[in-house]
Structure 1
Amino acid sequence: MPLVEVTLSAGREPAAIRALIHELHAAVERSIGSPAQSIRVIVREVPRTHWAAGDRTLAERDAIGEGG
């Protein structure tokens, strides 16, 4: 039973998350021939205040226009 786990910063539209799940599922099915019903996809969203890069949270980087 393949399990794909993805961690993203929070803030994407539900439709974008659904599209990601669909594409990941299709890629696993196509690449390793796993039965569709056995593929698991987990998407975790982390608040931008809880994710840091270069000692700045993503929220702090957003505030100064640095992105991330």
Structure 2
Amino acid sequence: MPLIQVTMIQGRTPEQKNAFFEQVTAVAVETLGVKPEQVRVVINEVPAEHWCIGGLSKAVIDARNAAKG
């Protein structure tokens, strides 16, 4: 039973996450030769304040980009 864990920044809609679940499951079924009901997918959502890129949080980067217009 494959368990696929994904970490992403919060903010995706339920529809986006459901589409992601479907597509990841389909790929696992195709490439691993398992049944869809054997695939587990877990999304760990992280606040932008806790996601760092180049020493700055994603929240700070987004705020700076918004200020630039």
> What's the counterpart of residue 12 of structure 1?
12
- Taking structure 2 as the reference length, the TM-score comes to 0.90
Structure 1 counterpart SS, 2:44: strand
Please name the residue that 2:26 is paired with. 26
- Looking at CA atoms only, which structure, 1 or 2, has the larger radius of gyration? 2
Distance 1:22 1:65 in 2: 33
Counterpart Cα distance in 2 of 1:5 and 1:26: 15
Higher helix share: 2
Q: Could you tell me how far 1:37 is from its partner in structure 2?
A: 1.2
Please report the RMSD computed on the Cα atoms of aligned residues, expressed in angstroms.
1.2
What TM-score do the two structures reach when normalised by structure 1? 0.91
Q: How many residues align?
A: 66
Alignment of structure 1 residues 1-68 onto 2, 5 Å: 1-65=1-65
| Offset at residue 32 of structure 1 (A) | 1.2
Q: Secondary structure at the match of 1:65?
A: helix
Q: For residue 12 of structure 2, give the secondary structure of its aligned residue in structure 1.
A: coil
CA deviations over 1:11-60 (Å, ceiling 9, x no partner): 11111011111100000001111011111000111000011111100000
Between the aligned partners of 1:54 and 1:41, the Cα distance in structure 2 is 28
Taking every aligned residue pair, what percent have the same amino acid on both sides?
A: 33
Structure 1 alignment gaps of length 5 or more: none
